[in-house]
Amino acid sequence: MPTDACLTNFARRDWLTDGPLNDVVAPYIEALRNQRYPDHTIRAYLGGLAHFSHWIKTDEIRMSRLDAALIKRFLHDHLPACTCPAPCYPSAASSGAALRHMLRLLPGDPSAATLTDPVAVELERFGEYLSNICGLAPVTRDRRVHHVGTFLVREFGVSTPVIAQLSAARLDTFFAELSSHLRPSSLRVVGNSLRSYFRYRALLGESTAALAASLPRIADWRRTTLPKVLADAELDAFLKAFDRADPVGLRDYAIARCLLDLGLRGHEVTYLTLESVDWRSATLTISSTKSKRVQQLPLPESTGEAIAQYLRRGRPQTVNRALFVRHRAPFDKPLGVPAIRNSMNRAFVRCGLSDRFCNTHVLRRTMATHLQRSGASVKEIADFLRHQSLDTANSYARVDLEGLRAVALPWPGSRS
């Protein structure tokens, strides 16, 4: 056991020394220090590690089973009903972060284990198809794999999935069961996941057209309302909510300009690098779009100025080439999508708009609405937003109320 300062007077040191994770503690502390985590955070993470170690020892769990599934079981099953002697560091958020760090230190990649379950093998191949052929983002891919996995396990258990055994009646029964606890919007997502899976099996030469046609079409009531966007006064208040005398404020303001001026998605901002900006030609290269295509966008003056101010006065010293990096531990890492979302949400709170707006996509919609009001066509909006289908951008045509009034027929019996 190391004699690191973080372990001095550590309340549950015995849970680490006498537990199965004793050999992990030294490299664990070293890894956190290399990422410049402060001592109080390391101590909190060690508390979560000690609690996990005590649970493994008490329940006599074999170390060979130490993987993400076991961590999930600890967080979701043990912590809510924990009866371990105090102090036992019961925070799920802190423990989850601590154990994710620990998982990276274990020898070998738990996700690289050989799959023997036929359904697991099928889902692995389907996931590769979604990533490599369809170019889906990891979150979307994992959600579709999860939905398809739920369906396949229900229908085939641990046997090899045979599409020829499926029928419209079995699909109806599956969705009838889901409808008892899922909202229509969630049912629509499940239907899209299964539709994607049937397309994948069709590429393998199987006949799935009848099954795809049997999937229920759930009404999308979102299209009955106008997109929620920031008004001009609200947009001005939002942009003034960033403290540009502070390095973090400079960074968040530059991110907001990327979201507003260019309509970037959160994950597209995450993958911007110093090389993405071509100052001479005033262009921004995006390499991590949803379609997996490299695209160039013009760099507006307001966006370029915000980025330049951040690079000159706000960006910390780092070896990472990401454009927007973390200003707190772990250092030398790009800013993640959750952090970008949180920074925008904090700005909405500061300007008093948090009751109406949240997340980053409202900024993208606001940019698209401004394009429409300036006279841009739906095709031009779709191109700028990098939509592959015009149907996705059609919602912005409904924002042009004056244009719609000009072409609308008078109501029968009304005064013309």
Q: How many angstroms separate the CA atoms of 190 and 187, rounded?
A: 5
Active site residue 265: yes
Pick the catalytic residue from 364, 365, 370, 386: 364
Which of 290, 327, 341, 350 is an active site residue? 290
Active site residue 361: yes
Residue written as token pair 């003034």 = 240
**Selection from 373, 343, 377, 375 nearest residue 360 by Cα:** 343
Question: Is 290 one of the catalytic residues?
Answer: yes
d(CA 296, CA 166): 45
Give the chain's end-to-end CA distance (angstroms, integer): 87
Question: Which one is catalytic: 12, 265, 326, 370?
Answer: 265
* The amino acid at 151: F
Q: Which residues are the active-site residues?
A: 265, 290, 361, 364, 387, 396
